Structure 1
Amino acid sequence: MSLAKQGDPAAIAVLLNQALGIRNMTAQVVRNDNRLHILLEADRIPDRQAYITYIQDGLTRLNVRSIHSVRVYARQIGQKVPAWDEAFEFGKATISPLSSPSGVPEEPASKPLPTPESLPIAKDKPPISPNPSVTPIEASVQTPRESSNSERDRPLADPVIPQPAIVARDNPPPPKRVPSNRSRAIGNTIKIVLPTVGIMSLILGTGWDFFRNGEKFHPALLLSSASETLATVKLPEPPEFPSFATRSNSLQPLQTDNILSNFQQLSQLVESSIPNQPITIKAVGDIIPGVDFPSNKLHSQPEQLFEAVTPYLQGADLVFGNFESTLTNHPYSGKDVSRPNVFAFRTPPTYTRLLKEAGFNILSVANNHSLDFTEQGFEDTIKNIEAAGMVAASRKGEIAYTTVNDIPIAFIGFSTYSYHNSILDLEAAKALVAEAQEKATLVVISFHGGAEGTGALHVKNRTETFFSENRGNLVEFSRVMIDAGADLVLGHGPHVPRALEVYKGKLIAYSLGNFMGYRSLSTVAELGYSLILEAEIDLEGNFIGGQIIPIHLNSQGIPSYDAQNRTVKLMQKLTQSDFPETPLSIEADGKIVKVDSQ
């Protein structure tokens, strides 16, 4: 049991086969990083919903924290290709067996939860309807923030709990931690509802008990939570399982040796057929696509703003930028723009569509212009970004989440100001990274800091100041974040490109420069040098390789591809000067190559 709780696939297979052997069914389990693959085989095709529910609830009770997602496959003995497969995010999605076809909860007594003996085998024709608990996402994504209803969530006085003649554990497990209201998840494939109170709990082969906060409760209460969070899972391609044609069709409960043998064969095949697919991120610096305050400086044809660079933003899993304006119609600025060098940036909310269509899906809002139109403008900006299906990173104390190929990824935005997550508070920053690691495979840090202008091209391992403001020690902050568990650090703020560094295998980009500043940012000399940074990282967060795509801003701050390669040449020189020992090389064509460190 202890090995199963640690996510050992062979131990989980033993539990499954003990529970399902009564149905003349075998289960094989393969683990690939933090994903679990479970293959069910029987004389007839197993019923989809009954066994998804059964397996999901059992794994929830086991509370295996090292497993993030599960995919279940089912096939008839002798067949090579699964008849059906379905994935869920472990510990979050809840499939309720008490839902009626109409989606209305039935009375508990009318449809009790299945026991292992009662789980059905499907007819020869596999079911084609999807599991009702895994619902295609709507065009818009909402993030409910209501509090739970205490009256509806109150446990029943005398819950009816099915009890097969199997020995149950003496004590219930502690409740599994669920995402707080500080966590937000945006995606584009499957919507799964994550209840914030109560989980269905079942231990495979050892009984049906339901607990919440240490007390037994009726499973119908699972449907009563009013506070929900949205997450998404993009399903991977199914592996090709072996047919095991030599095995008898007259199934008997497998012995441990046979399970381990089958597991080893299956593991070898799955490991070879499901590569450790890396994640590709494209990232840019500061974006101001035009402002309408205090006077109108908007482009007459705004759809042309990103036209020249949109093709270069395609082909990545995630596209990141720092949005250094506000998306609001709020009329009042908190700044006195009549003073020298004081600017308040406001962009019409309709421009959100331009960012989405250009390819962006992650935008930082932690910078020195996020509150130009007070807290109202800041909240409007986040609301408009999220309404377009993008992720905003982040409010103070928050972590933003998204998924790529069912891999959860966390983004945390930092600036040098107390109203954001601050790079000046290293202890609080480390705590956020630790929290993100509990829920995500990869953690990406975005920071807005450092001195500004052409005199701030070089990175020094010391505190930087600008207009008497403490703009942070960016080398110290970035390395502390990686020491704490971050996998990629993306910097912006100096308005010029800066050097790259690989620290403990992780990539740090100290500044991505300006990417767009239509009639708002200077483009003189290196202020007009820009780039799209492409970085490929594995699922351990290690930098594999990348590319600097050179971009240049014209006199109006509109970006286009730079055939002169000016940014590549500049970053070659800066990286060699500022981090001569870093194990990477920037080639003449902009390719970033990781080299073996001595």
Structure 2
Amino acid sequence: MITLVLGGDVNLQARATPATAFERLEPLLKGADLRFVNLEGPLSGTAGDGDIPHKPNWRHSAPEMVEALTAAGIDVVSCANNVTYPAAAAMASLAVLDRAGIAHCGAGANRDAAHAPAVLERGGQKVAFLAYTSLCWPVGQAAQATSPGVAQAFATTSYQPDPRVIDIPGRPPLVRTAPVPEHLERLVADVRQARAGNDHVVVSMHWGLPGPDLTEYQVAYGRAAIDAGADLVAGHGPHSIQAVEVYRGRPILYSLGNLVFDWPAMRGRHLDGLLAGCMLGDEPRLELIPVRRNADNECEPLAGEEAGKVLRYVADLSALRGTTVTVRDGIASVVVGT
């Protein structure tokens, strides 16, 4: 049995003592065999004048911020997201992670490297982590056959007229999305290959829109990953908590929200997130613990009625996906493996 704790989006910036970034979460992290988060921001250093041309208020993180991850015992991170850009920043950040001994997935020197799993072994069992982003700059970010970048799982968007527009002019169209076929095929092939060589497979997806509503492509990619052999899918990117769905006995965590998040533009916004505690093995289990960034922007576990409110929200969203989430004493339990 492998115990795994997964968190959502993590951004680390301008901390005088980065080693304390996760200290309020330490009791929830230290007992796990493996700890995973999405690293939302390269550890490449900043030029200070807009590190991403199309995102002018963005600043990359200083390499020394990696101390936050090492102090918290983070074992593996996803680098597949919309701010792992440009390629030089992505590669510089991977080098920082390598020197710190932190495994990574979802970005690399070429397409095969970006799609390769990070494999970690605990107790004689191998867990493969794969990571993809559906949120991606269309030029120069996705890894190519001979150039660096991220592993892409993009989607197409179309607009269908509302069925009642013929009698009620002005009704907004329905937004339809679907995975890009070749990206879906590659993801499925990656998962199958990882499953063939390892005991467990975890798929990380950076996707979705802010708020509670899921896009069609999220459901399509998530279920395809499970069909191909993934033990669970961990989503992030919307900066909002979204539903949990148990599909074929395996959980899809559509969005874990934010965890430690220092980007100044996010101060006071999207404060809530989830830590997911999973047991992988013959008797899988899934528990969710709510966290929130406080007035000092430090992330800490919630308790009491505030924890209950967040978890009941998760339960209500998950019920719409046919999944039962049981809330008790600040912890949510999800029945999986049946």
Under a length normalisation based on structure 2, what TM-score does the superposition of the two structures give?
0.78
Mark the CA change 1:322 to 1:568 in structure 2 (over 3 Å): closer, same or farther. farther
Equivalent residue, structure 2, for 1:421: 151
Give the C-alpha shift of residue 333 in structure 1.
Answer: 5.7
Mark the CA change 1:503 to 1:521 in structure 2 (over 3 Å): closer, same or farther. farther
User: Is 1:303 aligned to 2:19, yes or no?
Assistant: yes
Among 329, 335, 338, the alignment partner of 1:594 is 335
User: Is 1:347 aligned to 2:65, yes or no?
Assistant: no
| Counterpart Cα distance in 2 of 1:581 and 1:287 | 27
User: Is 1:533 aligned to 2:276, yes or no?
Assistant: yes
User: Is 1:375 aligned to 2:87, yes or no?
Assistant: yes
Equivalent residue, structure 2, for 1:498: 242
8 Å CA contact 1:499–1:571 kept in 2: the answer is no
Q: Spell out the pairing of 1:108-507 with structure 2 (5 A cutoff).
A: 278-290=1-13, 298-329=14-45, 331=47, 335-336=52-53, 342-371=56-85, 374-395=86-107, 396-416=114-134, 417=136, 418-419=142-143, 420-424=150-154, 425-452=183-210, 456-460=211-215, 462=216, 473-507=217-251
Q: Choose between structure 1 and 2: higher strand proportion.
A: 2
Could you tell me the percent identity over the aligned residues? 26
User: Is 1:585 aligned to 2:325, yes or no?
Assistant: yes
Give the C-alpha shift of residue 299 in structure 1.
Answer: 2.8
Amino acid at match of 1:591: A
Among 309, 314, 321, the alignment partner of 1:569 is 309
Among 273, 283, 291, the alignment partner of 1:551 is 291
Give the C-alpha shift of residue 334 in structure 1.
Answer: 5.3
Equivalent residue, structure 1, for 2:176: none
| Counterpart Cα distance in 2 of 1:568 and 1:483 | 33
What are the ranges of 5 or more consecutive residues in structure 2 without an aligned counterpart?
108-113, 137-141, 144-149, 155-182
SS at match of 1:423: coil
What are the ranges of 5 or more consecutive residues in structure 1 without an aligned counterpart?
1-277, 291-297, 463-472
Cα deviations by residue, 1:534-581 (Å, 9 ceiling, x for unpaired):
111215xx7x22322221102443201222453553343344345446
Amino acid at match of 1:476: A
Give the C-alpha shift of residue 501 in structure 1.
Answer: 1.3
Equivalent residue, structure 2, for 1:133: none
Mark the CA change 1:403 to 1:559 in structure 2 (over 3 Å): closer, same or farther. same
Q: Spell out the pairing of 1:34-73 with structure 2 (5 A cutoff).
A: none
Mark the CA change 1:497 to 1:458 in structure 2 (over 3 Å): closer, same or farther. same
| Counterpart Cα distance in 1 of 2:306 and 2:66 | 30
8 Å CA contact 1:365–1:392 kept in 2: the answer is yes
Amino acid at match of 2:38: N
| Counterpart Cα distance in 1 of 2:337 and 2:256 | 25
Give the C-alpha shift of residue 377 in structure 1.
Answer: 1.3
Among 507, 514, 522, the alignment partner of 2:266 is 522
Mark the CA change 1:519 to 1:443 in structure 2 (over 3 Å): closer, same or farther. closer
8 Å CA contact 2:286–2:336 kept in 1: the answer is no
SS at match of 2:322: coil
- Judge which range, 281-290 or 560-569, deviates more: 560-569
User: Is 1:508 aligned to 2:252, yes or no?
Assistant: yes
Amino acid at match of 2:278: A
8 Å CA contact 2:226–2:250 kept in 1: the answer is yes
Cα deviations by residue, 1:445-500 (Å, 9 ceiling, x for unpaired):
00101012xxx22335x2xxxxxxxxxx1111100110011111000001011111
| Counterpart Cα distance in 2 of 1:309 and 1:574 | 20
SS at match of 1:385: helix
| Counterpart Cα distance in 1 of 2:324 and 2:334 | 5
Cα deviations by residue, 1:48-82 (Å, 9 ceiling, x for unpaired):
xxxxxxxxxxxxxxxxxxxxxxxxxxxxxxxxxxx
For the pair shown, the structure with the greater C-alpha radius of gyration is: 1
| Counterpart Cα distance in 2 of 1:299 and 1:334 | 19
Task: Give RMSD over aligned pairs.
Answer: 2.4
Give the C-alpha shift of residue 303 in structure 1.
Answer: 3.3
Give the C-alpha shift of residue 342 in structure 1.
Answer: 3.7
8 Å CA contact 2:11–2:39 kept in 1: the answer is yes
Amino acid at match of 1:394: G
8 Å CA contact 2:290–2:311 kept in 1: the answer is no
| Counterpart Cα distance in 2 of 1:581 and 1:499 | 7
Give the C-alpha shift of residue 336 in structure 1.
Answer: 3.0
| Counterpart Cα distance in 1 of 2:328 and 2:235 | 23
Mark the CA change 1:346 to 1:330 in structure 2 (over 3 Å): closer, same or farther. closer
Cα deviations by residue, 1:229-287 (Å, 9 ceiling, x for unpaired):
xxxxxxxxxxxxxxxxxxxxxxxxxxxxxxxxxxxxxxxxxxxxxxxxx2111011111
User: Is 1:560 aligned to 2:281, yes or no?
Assistant: no
